[in-house]
Amino acid sequence: MIYVCIPARDEERTIGLLLWKVRKTLLEFGRDFEVLVLDDGSTDGTADVLSRYAGFLPMRVIREKEHLGYGGAVERLLREVVERSAYPKRDVAVTLQADFTEDPADLVAMVKRIEGGADLVAGTLVPSLAALPRAYRISRRFARLLLGRAHRRAPVSDPLSGFRAYRVIVLKKAFRERDPGGRIRNATGWGANLQILSLAAPHARRIDEATFAPVFTRRERPSRFRPLAALRGLFELRGVSWPAPQLPSEGEPAA
């Protein structure tokens, strides 16, 4: 089962197109799937759009009246997957933006890598950053400098990207070891993505990457990216450590 996890807040203009593309992609791929959308306190017509698509694809909508923020929304979705998955060693969770800047077609390569033995696959921006918005491009360069060792020693070349695929057993182990009362404390995108990776990576025996090229012109609303807030959120994460991936003990089957 592929669980497509989509945090959404005020995305009425793109969420429908995104769901249509998810459905088309996964039907052609020929895998069982379920879409999980967290409506994070939307005040526009997002809920109405979601209700119209409910009959066209397997989808569960979680509605939060209070805004959780990006990090809280993603963690809520991933915990929901852990609870719903009947076969965590085989099932896959994919995180996807609701603004349609990430193409659902790119998740196929990620899932194939999971099927080939990876436990975590991180989406990595294509080598050229020229197509990125200027503020985003410059901020990513500053982020690498700010994080220093935490960025250089990360198990993937782009630890800030949230476009990822996880074998569900990895998430289950990560949340089991985490303080039950703990939550992703950083609601900004980059900080939350870095924290989630730091939780999951120690439980992944094999981590792969798959390149993708976001298309920011597909976004139908003003950008919510705030460079100073994003960098400020990373400042306290400079001490993130990256333990070596777990190795299976004798007699233990691979995840």
pLDDT for 96-129, tens place per residue?
999 999 999 999 999 999 999 999 999 998 866 5
**Whole-angstrom distance, CA of residue 32 vs CA of residue 50:** 20
The domains located in the chain, with CATH, are 2-130+158-223 (3.90.550.10)
Q: Are 93 and 165 in contact (CB under 8 A)?
A: yes
Residue 175 has pLDDT above 50, yes or no: yes
The answer to whether residue 181 scores a pLDDT higher than 60 is no
Burial 169-186 (b: 16+ CB within 10 A, else e): bbbbbbbeeeeeeeebeb
Which of 84, 85, 80, 88 is closest to 63 using CA atoms?
Answer: 80
Span of 1-15, 27-41, 100-114, 216-230 with lowest mean pLDDT? 216-230
Q: And the tokens for 226?
A: 């705030």
* Reported pTM: 0.91
Strand 120-125 and strand 92-95: pairing? unpaired
What are the pLDDT digits (tens) for 45-56?
Answer: 999 999 999 889
Task: Look at residue 242 in the predicted model and tell me its pLDDT.
Answer: 87
pLDDT band at 252 (very low <50, low <70, confident <90, very high): very low
